[in-house]
Amino acid sequence: MRTSSELLLTFLLNAVWQIALIGALASLGAWLLRQSATRYQHWLWVAALCLSLLVPAATAYRALPSAPLLSGHGTTQFNIATPVSIDPSPSFERTPAIASNSALQLNSRLAWVLLSLFAAFVLFRSFRLAQAWFTTRKVRQAAVELEGDVAVEAIMRDCAKRLNLRPDRVAVCSSESVAVPVTIGVVRPVIILPESLLRDGDNDLLTSAIGHEFIHVARYDYVLNFVYELLFLPVSFHPAAALLRRRIKQTRELVCDELVAERILNAQVYARSLVALASSAPPLRRLSVTTTVGIADADILEARIMSLLSKPKLNRRLKKSMLVGVSLLLLVPSLAAAAFAMRFELANTVQNPEQQEKELKEKRRADAVEREATSEQEFKERMARDPNFRREVQRKEELEMEMREVRQAALVRLARISMDQAIQIANSQTPGKVLECNLTAEKWEEPGKLAKDGIVFYHVVIADETNPGATHVWVNAVDGSIIKTEKELPRKRTRENN
């Protein structure tokens, strides 16, 4: 829970300045592209919206506490979990993207307030989006498909021919619940025309409306608009993100206007029709959350008319150079913003010593499990890709097995009493249930040869049937004498097992 909260804080607080930077860069790029085709500005704003989500998300991902603890020399040491000891142990270098000592501490109460406000805002925006989706479905269910309208069918065939679309791919319906033409539908797009527009019977208005909506269908604007709304949802708290979303809607309509004037209608005729169509849209709808796309989505009628009556002035070579420059202007600082982001952590609150010790113990246990899993994975990967390392490991395994066999043979040769006799001697000293008995030795001079002051002994662990805990008894394997007896306390054994 704490980690997820810190990740959300890192995402949220870095997004505040990162999205503002991306919005400023996109605005500058759009100004530089003001004399070029509007579609370039549209994709610039789309790229800016995607970066507004991706850059803070990448920052939060880089802050994930997945990197193991670092040693003092800046490298991470892994204990290789193998049945043999490998000396020297292989080490792997891994530098975390954001060092933990650079994290900024944030007051816990302030952090929870920020996260609560963020969650409330996202839930509110999600509710608005779901409400718009259900409203769109109701509009679609209330619409009536047009049949037998010769004028509309002729306009549809003409528009489909000019845009290389199949007429049967798009359905045209009428509805009294819409004031302006709109397009909905993912699999089979549907263009819904207002009843008032059909009653007027103005061919120029019908051609402008149907042609504009056919452009939306050809560009898959309905699906893309829904994707943009989902991308906007996590960053909808930011005014710069709202600006990007609004610019996407505006430039999308400008692009459709350009294509209609280029392929379907004369620019002057379409401009007059656009004024008549867009002016009938309710003012509040233009600013609301919606999952439809239509001719009146943007609230920039004057700019649309001016765009239709003016032509781009840049030549092709200058236009390409400008596009490359604007792309670099947007991407390079955005990537730098993701690299030099800040990490935020919740400040530790005052806790009682037992709670602090419990949390510290759980953290150490989790870190140990994580380091063990990471070391095992690193070892397997290196074994798979490095044949020299694999041969070295196999050679040392064989050597260790040989040394172990030599030592075991020496222990059996040096022991003068059997294991059963050692257990009887230990039980005569400390009655109880024998849990463990091992034959071992101390102070080897070389493998298979004991030093002069070395000793061979049995280590017997006996459980006390009356008192909690266990007793360790060391029995000399040569003469059967008791070397040492030690009582193990239950608390001590619990700590060792943990």
pLDDT at 227: 92
pLDDT at 97 over 50: no
Tokens of 446: 């070389």
Residues comprising the chain, all counted: 498
The Cα angle at residue 244 between residues 48 and 110, in degrees rounded to 5: 95
Helices (H), 83-172: 108-142, 150-162
- Dig out the tokens for 341 from the structure: 């982001």
> What pLDDT, on the 0 to 100 scale, is given for residue 281?
64
Res 113: pLDDT: 87
Q: How many CB atoms lie within 10 A of CB 336?
A: 12
Burial class (CB in 10 A: 0-12, 13-18, 19+), 206: buried
Report d(CA 280, CA 308) in Å as an integer.
20
CB distance 10 to 343 below 8 Å: yes
Instruction: Give 98's DSSP letter.
Output: S
CB 15 within 8 A of CB 56: yes
Peptide bond into 88 cis (omega under 30): yes
Contact 325, 42 (CB under 8 A): no
pLDDT tens by residue, 56-71: 998 888 876 553 333 3
Which of 15-29, 81-95, 98-112, 343-357 comes out lowest in average pLDDT?
Answer: 81-95
- The C-alpha atoms of residue 362 and residue 373 are separated, in whole angstroms, by 17
Query: For residue 272, what are the CA distances in angstroms to 144, 205, 264, 265?
Result: 28, 9, 14, 11
Say yes or no to pLDDT of 77 above 50.
Answer: no
Q: What is the mean pLDDT of residues 169-193?
A: 85
Give the Cα separation of 421 and 437 in Å (integer): 11
Distance CA 151, CA 206 (A): 9
| Mean of pLDDT values over 81-109 | 47
**Of the candidates 61, 143, 72, which has an alpha carbon nearest to the alpha carbon of residue 101?**
72
Between 469 and 389, whose confidence is greater? 389
Paired residues of 346 in beta bridges: 106
Query: What's the pLDDT at 247?
Result: 93
How far is residue 47's CA from residue 326's CA, in Å, rounded to a whole number? 11
pLDDT (tens digit per residue) in 248-263: 999 998 899 888 888 8
CA distance to 356, 359, 360, 457, per residue, from 353 (Å): 5, 10, 10, 43
Residue 461 in contact with residue 434, Cβ under 8 Å?
yes
CA angle 358, 361, 365 (to 5 degrees): 140
Q: Which of 133, 130, 126 is nearest to 184 (CA)?
A: 133
Give the tens place of pLDDT for each residue, 270-329: 888 888 877 666 654 444 556 677 666 667 777 888 887 776 666 677 878 888 899 999
Q: Return the structure tokens found at 481.
A: 């004498």
Give residue 39's identity as a one-letter amino acid code.
Answer: R
372-381 per-position pLDDT tens digit: 777 788 888 8
Strands of 73-181, DSSP E = 76-77, 91-92, 104-106, 144-145, 171-175
Give the pLDDT confidence score for residue 313 in this predicted structure: 62
Side chain identity at residue 302, one-letter code? E
**Residue 183 near residue 222, CB atoms below 8 Å:** yes
In angstroms, rounded to a whole number, what is the distance separating the alpha carbons of residues 474 and 476?
Answer: 7
pLDDT-derived band at 12 (thresholds 50, 70, 90) equals confident
Highest mean predicted confidence (pLDDT) among 50-59, 98-107, 360-369, 417-426: 50-59
Instruction: Reply yes or no on whether the pLDDT at 91 is more than 50.
Output: no
Task: Answer whether residue 387 shows pLDDT above 70.
Answer: yes
Residue at token pair 């501490």: 105
pLDDT tier for residue 11 given thresholds of 50, 70 and 90: confident
d(CA 98, CA 67): 10
Q: What does the alpha-carbon distance between residue 249 and residue 238 come to, in Å, rounded to a whole number? A: 17
**Residue scoring higher pLDDT (84 or 485):** 485
Question: What is the number of other CB atoms lying within 10 angstroms of the CB of residue 357?
Answer: 11
* Rounded percentage of the chain residues whose pLDDT exceeds 90: 13
Lowest-confidence pick of 121-130, 155-164, 438-447: 438-447
